[in-house]
Amino acid sequence: MDSAHTIDTPVGRLAVRVSGDGAPAVLWHSLFVDERSWDRLVPALSRDRRLVIITGPGHGASGDPGRRYTLQDCAESAVAILDRLGINEPVDWVGNAWGGHVGILFASTWPARCRSLVTFGTPVAALTPRERLRTRALLALYRLLGPTRTVVDGVTEALLSARTRAEDPAAVRLVQTGLRGADRRMLRNAVVSISLDRVDLVQRLREVSAPTLVVTGSDHQGFTPEQARAAAAVLPAGVAQVIPDASYLVPLEAPEASVRLLREFWAQRVPS
């Protein structure tokens, strides 16, 4: 059973899609793409999960608060959405990059509401000086000229592996059409709020008591397999997995492997 909602939250009016029946699972996407980046997983996962698919502020059909906001604000917004939907039982959180950051804060702040946590391509450290410089340069170009080829190609190269860019035109198209169709002010606000201003989350990882799966792509330059294993090691109940030939957007680039990892993790590590 599918339904669509628009829900007021601390970060603005957010678009939410609910699909399937069963134990609730929250899906929150990466920066620069919207809820469509989950579409390759939804048919399989919704067979036995009630998926709450949140579109983050400044993306897709969601608004934003008209001010800077934090990852903690996003986590509070997820709680508001669950409350509005009447979901009081613990949820399985699945986040890609940005969604993983929000999930870490959700799980560490409201442990009773998080049954398990899965992060895909989610760097836990703040941006390095080099990453900040590159992001600021792209933002400056985007602010002045909009989604030019330089900006779009730069973001595409950062988010998708070389193999995905060469062999999966639908994934490339999803990233690029999302960028070209985004509200420029709101997207810039999202990048500054939750990327440039992101704090180091290692300490918050240590506070996550739920079983946690940390996944990264082999080609993810911002969160390498070694960094993923190190992040899992500080978790009370963490395990790391690496998906070959993928980068930031593992669920989009490797949907079958992502579904397999999720199902195995839920079956083996998550209490029924």
Token pair recorded at residue 12: 């603005």
> What is the Cα–Cα distance from 181 to 45, expressed in whole angstroms?
28
Cβ-contact 155, 138 below 8 angstroms: yes
Give whole-number Cα distances, 135 to 166, 177, 191, in Å. Answer: 24, 20, 9
- Per-residue pLDDT 10s for the chain (272 aa) are 789 999 999 999 999 999 999 999 999 999 999 999 999 999 999 999 999 999 999 999 999 999 999 999 999 999 999 999 999 999 999 999 999 999 999 999 999 999 999 999 999 988 888 888 888 888 888 888 889 998 899 899 999 999 999 999 999 999 999 999 999 999 999 999 998 878 899 999 999 999 999 999 999 999 999 999 999 999 999 999 999 999 999 999 999 999 999 999 999 987 66
User: Rounded to the nearest 5 degrees, what angle is found at the Cα of 2, between the Cα atoms of 93 and 168?
Assistant: 70
pLDDT value of residue 199 = 85
Give 210's DSSP letter. Answer: S
pLDDT value of residue 272 = 62
**CATH fold of 3-269:** Rossmann fold (3.40.50)
pLDDT value of residue 172 = 98
Domain extent listing, the chain: 3-269
pTM score, whole prediction: 0.96
> What is the Cα–Cα distance from 195 to 78, expressed in whole angstroms?
18
pLDDT value of residue 269 = 81
